[in-house]
Amino acid sequence: MRTTSITQRLAGLGGAKWDLHLAARERRERGADIIEMTIGEPDVPLPDQLADHAISALRAGRTQYSNGRGEDDLRDALAEAYAQRRGRTFDRDNVLCFPGTQTALYAVMQGVAETGDNVLVGDPLYATYEGVIRSTGADMVPVPLRAEHGFRMQAEDVAERITEKTRAILLNTPHNPTGAILQKQEVEAIAALAVKHDLWLISDEVYEDLVFEGTEFISPLSLPDVADRVIAVASISKSHAAPGLRSGWAIGPKAFMDALLPVSETMLFGNQPFIADMTAAAIREGSPVAAGMAKRYAARAAYLADRLQAETDLRVHRPDAGMFALVDVSPLGMDCDSFAWTLLEQTGVAVMPGSSFGEHMIDWVRIALTIPDDAMAQAVDRISTFAQSVVLDPEPDA
């Protein structure tokens, strides 16, 4: 059977990245003592208020067809919230609703790039970005995010990679997997490049509500100079511990949203009104769980960093937001894959090799901060003992 080029462009993406995670799951199901720190799921259940809102909306019959933009009341709620957060005026025409950030990003990418184009994106990167870009026919151009710059994208690195073919820069701030937040002057410098070279700026801000105390998030959506070229995508997946409800959105220029509407309509044939009602209430009421998650994830990151740095040669990159911390395993003379697989074999602790997140993370592993504190302490005991047991090969004779 013949399939189209999109299936070939996306074939193979995704698979091997998850090998270690799947192997750990399989062992756990067979009864092995596994501490899973591979993927990040919120460490709290869906808040009761959200379940109540969704159930009342279901009972009120909010299960009819909606429309391709999303329910007016949700778009109003989002416009109000963004106006307040970004200090600019938005109205419902700036918003399209989607089932999650992922679908929003997919649709937005179809609206900005196609075959022959390039899209710039930071590397390391969230696992699905390459597929989202390649689905359009465009090529992904990785911009290295360097540990010495706190893994924050630098405008010089972006500028070097802009060509006639570049159509868009995909930002992710706060960032997965590094937990880095772009600083104001960095966002401004990248925004200036977008203006100079007439590029779209797409900003994945799904971790905005999981920013740790003492750090500040700044979105390119708050910069008036790029108002006509910034599209932000986000959802309630992280902020409200609701990843399975699939409720997200894109917010940006009205003309872009109008142009994208037929794409959304063709994909979705409208959104789900009961999910929209629940999301509108969630946005207006604010999250009852985000602050607690941010506090716990920050505390676990600090615990991990303090202990591993005191007890081992491992180096921990302290995140500013999100659900993950990165650990540099190169001082042990290992790359990320050999570290992660040997750690799993010998201790049952499962972490993600950095190679799953791009070309530039070969020395790093990603650790999810979403497991309970006692499991975290046990995992750190095991990682620490393992790291201390690794004997570096002696330097070859000169």
Ligand X SMILES: Cc1ncc(COP(=O)(O)O)c(C=O)c1O
Residue 353 makes CB contacts below 8 A (sequence gap 6+) with 20, 336, 337, 339, 340, 341, 365
* Residue whose Cβ sits closest to ligand X: 100
Judged by CB under 6 A, the stretch of 97-105, 143-151, 288-296, 374-382 that binds ligand X is 97-105
Judged by CB under 6 A, the stretch of 3-11, 94-102, 147-155, 309-317 that binds ligand X is 94-102
Q: Which of 178, 222, 237, 312 binds ligand X (CB under 6 A)?
A: 237
Judged by CB under 6 A, the stretch of 85-93, 98-106, 185-193, 306-314 that binds ligand X is 98-106
Binding mask 121-140 for ligand X (x = CB under 6 A): -----x--------------
Q: Each residue of 230-242: b (16+ CB within 10 Å) or e?
A: bbbbbbbbbbbbb
166 vs 237 by CB, closer to ligand X: 237
Q: How far is the CB of 317 from ligand X (least distance, A)?
A: 17
**Cα gap 237→207, rounded to integer Å:** 9
243 binds ligand X, rule: CB under 6 A: yes
Beta bridge partners of 328: 315, 364
118 binds ligand X, rule: CB under 6 A: no
**Cα gap 301→304, rounded to integer Å:** 5
> What order of strands is seen across the sheet that includes strand 139-144?
95-98, 248-251, 230-235, 200-204, 166-172, 118-123, 139-144
* Positions in 199-218 near ligand X (CB under 6 A): 204, 206
Q: Could you tell me how far CA 305 lies from the centroid of its own chain?
A: 22
206 vs 350 by CB, closer to ligand X: 206
178 vs 347 by CB, closer to ligand X: 178
User: Angle at CA 28, nearest 5°, toward 354 and 330?
Assistant: 25
220 vs 243 by CB, closer to ligand X: 243
Going by their DSSP bridges, the two strands 35-37 and 315-317 should be labelled as unpaired
Q: Which of 101, 222, 347, 370 binds ligand X (CB under 6 A)?
A: 101
- Structure tokens of 209? 């509500």
Summarize as ranges the residues that interact with ligand X (CB under 6 A): 100-102, 126, 172, 176, 204, 206, 235, 237, 243, 248
